[in-house]
Structure 1
Amino acid sequence: MVGNPQMEDIAKLTADNFTKATGITVKFTILPENELRDKVTQDVATQGGQYDVATIGAYEAPIWAKNGWLHELSSYADADSAYDKADLLQPMVQSLSGEDGKLYAAPFYGESSFLMYNKELFAAKGLTMPERPTWQQVADFAAKLDDKQAGVAGICLRGLPGWGEVFAPLTTVVNTFGGTWFDKDWNPQVSAAPFAEATKFYVDLVRQHGEAGAPQAGFTECLNTFGQGKAAMWYDATSAAGTLEDASASKVAGKVGYVYAPVVKTKSSGWLWAWAWAMPKTTKQADAAWKFISWATGKEYEKLVGEKLGWSRLPAGKRASTYNIPEYKQSAGAFADITLKAIEEADPTNPGVQPRPAIGVQFVGIPEFADLGTKVSQEVSAAIAGKTTVDKALADGQKLAEDVAKKYRK
């Protein structure tokens, strides 16, 4: 599984709760996001059979289902009345289902993206954050709040290579600037003006007012930077909020404001993602694997996290019932409503200003995108490091996208 805080929590809780109740031992391998994707994709694609359960996301689930790599989970969920499949949020169910309408991964937590800001730093400068900021407003705030002497960045933005690292936030910026990876007829738009304008804006912003070491900063690094009070703003996953509001893990608990993802030409721009548990076809422990998945994505597990670790740390964003838990509403009051609304507003079929040939807000829902997005991200990360220009990065990206597009135009 990916090494995010929610996964580290379940690794701590499993032996004393799930294993004690079922007798099923769970061995966890926790990896950084890019490494996880490489290892799991390789294992599942080659039918290696190393994993009984793996965390995958909204990008992989429908593609891997089509390839016949995963067990469908609908029959398990439907037969398990205690599981309450109907309680799962529809955007999450849809994003993790195959063309046959069956569920191929069960959401552990769901997320959109939003802008987080340090209310104390804003107040000290007499600045007011609007509920729906524009990217230009964000850039202006970053310039005013950047304090290199105090070691506080104006904003934290991912710069780490990877289609799911730097290009998760950056593709949402491209969308709202009016760009897209491909138009509806599969013509690549990577070097087109809106894509270039958005990328230059992002690269300039992080170079001028972003965190130190931005080309190596992904979700985890920005979570640490912002959580230590070393950045005035951070645009990233809504799932980060639970850790930020946990005083034992964050120096900014109670000091963070949350607003919608910044926009330019679109009404909203938040992404849609779920980290979810999938069962590879190769597992020889399917029944035990489902018992673990149903426990890990069920209501009782959420209650366990709340009671043992703190209610703000629930792996939320996947069940409607979560948002009716009184303790969670109280603990997550600063971010729960906006998270749910952002998830509901995200539109994977129409996230920009023009029709798209494939679904996805922060990715293009085709198998080739993982390689394409990662290769272009390496060039963009090099631009953030000052080793190349955005124009060169995107010109190279356009050629790579053209190679992908040829297949689809046929």
Structure 2
Amino acid sequence: MKNLIRVLAGATAACMIATPVLAEKLTIATVNNGDMVRMQKLTDDFTAKNPGIEVEWVTLEENILRQRVTTDVATKGGQYDVMTIGTYEVPIWGKKGWLVSLNDLPESYDVDDILPAIRGGLTVDDNLFAAPFYTESSMVMYRKDLMEKAGLTMPQAPTWDFIGKAARAMTDKQNETYGICLRGKAGWGENVAFLTATANSFGARWFNMDWKPQFTGEAWKKTLNFYIDLMNDAGPPGASSNGFNENLALFQSGKCGMWIDATVAASFVTNPKDSQVADKVGFALAPDAGLGKRGNWLWAWSLAIPAGTQKAESAKKFVAWATSKEYLDLVASKEGWANVPPGTRASLYANEEYAKVPFAQMTLDSINSADPKNPAVDPVPYVGVQFVAIPEFQGIATTVGQQFSAALAGTVTADQPLMNAQRITERAMKKARYIK
């Protein structure tokens, strides 16, 4: 009997040894831009350091990503373990209890190295609810050769009048060279982001201090008419369908004289592997209209952990890896300092090697010039430069963006979308009881 017990015990032990330990799989939802695609390629570094964790990526176009992660986090569906979300969502979702606090990240992570303005925007009630993967403002990227050919010199801090003049002078439609590429694709994070930041510089605002929409004011009319006229004269065909990725492809292929968009794009347009004009690109601050505000935004794509996940501890390990100083060093070692995710850590801008990158200082200057607490020329009751940090904004601005895109496509006159935007926004704000 004793021998039989020993045999059974030995067999049981052998089975235990032979049975592999199943890895925990993290599902990560992210946007389909260059920095996130690069992170996916470097994931082997994370899994090598964390052998008990596997990673599955869900990579989506920006508008679709926002829709899906919003649904999942609100219902605590648990479909994703790590989400790529922005500066708009973090304070709203953090207050609702939809995100896991990151206050217990290891000391080696050095949370104090995150730039204060960025860390503050991701913190609610002293809880850090997301870790910034990269931070961006917006700036002018332009073709130095085409600017010179037009007989013009780009100022470091241009006006919108100069941008309009230069764009028209650089346009050669017969040879498919367009003076300027700007976002036209409908979406609160696409054309609305660009036009809201632009409107700030023209003296417009979404709401007055009583939360009444302001789209029928002269400043919004001037903004939208300037934009449509400029794109009709100097923009590419089909601009109403172009977002960040479409304009990036146009600029990289040499079809845009200027592109005003996210500072993070600088590494893509100056990378000779991808850009035909890599050695011809210059940079300048986003334009102004002489009213004291520039048309640039402030945004951080960050990694957050939804409260619905069952894998919070493994998710924290991934977030800490992807947003660490060591990750920046990893990217630099593989692809050079110019391709490091920008705008998140003070130590990056203190790095002598990174300081040599041609767009590093302009990126930092652009980030520092944005003021989310005072985004417009006149006072506003909200926080946010290219968005309004209230839960209702996403839905309102998605519909407003469709109106603006239709105006650019020429299906309606410029005045009609502004009247529609006023009506749409008033109705939504009354329903939410901001106004009577």
Instruction: Report the AA paired with residue 155 of structure 2.
Output: P
Out of 71, 91, 94, which is 2:100 matched to? 71
What is residue 387 of structure 1 aligned with on the other side? 411
What is residue 282 of structure 1 aligned with on the other side? 308
Match status 1:4 vs 2:33: yes
**Is the Cα–Cα contact under 8 Å of residues 180 and 234 in structure 2 kept in the other structure?**
yes
Superposed counterparts of 1:198-277, under 5 Å: 198-264=223-289, 265-277=291-303
RMSD of aligned residue pairs (Cα, Å):
1.1
How far residue 326 of structure 1 moved from its aligned partner, in angstroms, is: 3.1
**Is the Cα–Cα contact under 8 Å of residues 243 and 312 in structure 1 kept in the other structure?**
no
Superposed counterparts of 1:185-200, under 5 Å: 185-200=210-225
3-state DSSP of counterpart to 2:42: helix
3-state DSSP of counterpart to 1:55: strand
Counterpart Cα distance in 2 of 1:125 and 1:393 = 34
What is residue 48 of structure 2 aligned with on the other side? 20
How far residue 409 of structure 1 moved from its aligned partner, in angstroms, is: 3.1
% same residue: 48
Superposed counterparts of 1:64-213, under 5 Å: 64-73=93-102, 75-77=103-105, 80-98=106-124, 100-213=125-238
Counterpart Cα distance in 1 of 2:150 and 2:381 = 45
Instruction: Report the AA paired with residue 179 of structure 2.
Output: G
Match status 1:320 vs 2:349: no
Counterpart Cα distance in 2 of 1:148 and 1:381 = 22
- CA displacement 1:158-184 (0-9 Å, x = unmatched): 000001000111111111111111011
How far residue 144 of structure 1 moved from its aligned partner, in angstroms, is: 0.4
Superposed counterparts of 1:308-347, under 5 Å: 308-330=334-356, 332=357, 334-347=358-371
Moved more, 193-202 or 156-165: 193-202
How far residue 343 of structure 1 moved from its aligned partner, in angstroms, is: 0.8
Counterpart Cα distance in 1 of 2:182 and 2:284 = 16
**Is the Cα–Cα contact under 8 Å of residues 198 and 296 in structure 2 kept in the other structure?**
no
Counterpart Cα distance in 2 of 1:92 and 1:229 = 33
3-state DSSP of counterpart to 2:172: coil
3-state DSSP of counterpart to 1:212: coil
Runs of 4+ in 1 over 3 A off after TM superposition: none
Out of 24, 27, 31, which is 2:60 matched to? 31
**Is the Cα–Cα contact under 8 Å of residues 183 and 240 in structure 2 kept in the other structure?**
yes
Counterpart Cα distance in 1 of 2:406 and 2:156 = 33
- CA displacement 1:371-399 (0-9 Å, x = unmatched): 11110110110111111112111111101
- CA displacement 1:60-91 (0-9 Å, x = unmatched): 00011111111111x223xx111011110111
**Is the Cα–Cα contact under 8 Å of residues 83 and 298 in structure 1 kept in the other structure?**
yes
Counterpart Cα distance in 2 of 1:409 and 1:398 = 13
**Is the Cα–Cα contact under 8 Å of residues 119 and 256 in structure 1 kept in the other structure?**
yes
Counterpart Cα distance in 2 of 1:7 and 1:136 = 35
How far residue 244 of structure 1 moved from its aligned partner, in angstroms, is: 1.3
Give the TM-score normalised by the residue count of structure 2.
0.91
Out of 310, 324, 338, which is 1:298 matched to? 324
How far residue 125 of structure 1 moved from its aligned partner, in angstroms, is: 2.0
3-state DSSP of counterpart to 1:29: strand
Counterpart Cα distance in 2 of 1:256 and 1:2 = 25
**Is the Cα–Cα contact under 8 Å of residues 161 and 374 in structure 1 kept in the other structure?**
yes
Counterpart Cα distance in 1 of 2:218 and 2:178 = 29
Counterpart Cα distance in 2 of 1:291 and 1:345 = 33
3-state DSSP of counterpart to 1:225: helix
Give the TM-score normalised by the residue count of structure 1.
0.96
How far residue 11 of structure 1 moved from its aligned partner, in angstroms, is: 0.5
Instruction: Report the AA paired with residue 313 of structure 2.
Output: D
Q: Which runs of 5 or more residues in structure 1 are unaligned?
A: none
The structure whose Rg is larger is 2
What is residue 47 of structure 1 aligned with on the other side? 76
**Is the Cα–Cα contact under 8 Å of residues 5 and 243 in structure 1 kept in the other structure?**
yes
3-state DSSP of counterpart to 1:280: coil
- CA displacement 1:334-382 (0-9 Å, x = unmatched): 2101111111111001111111111000001111111111101101101
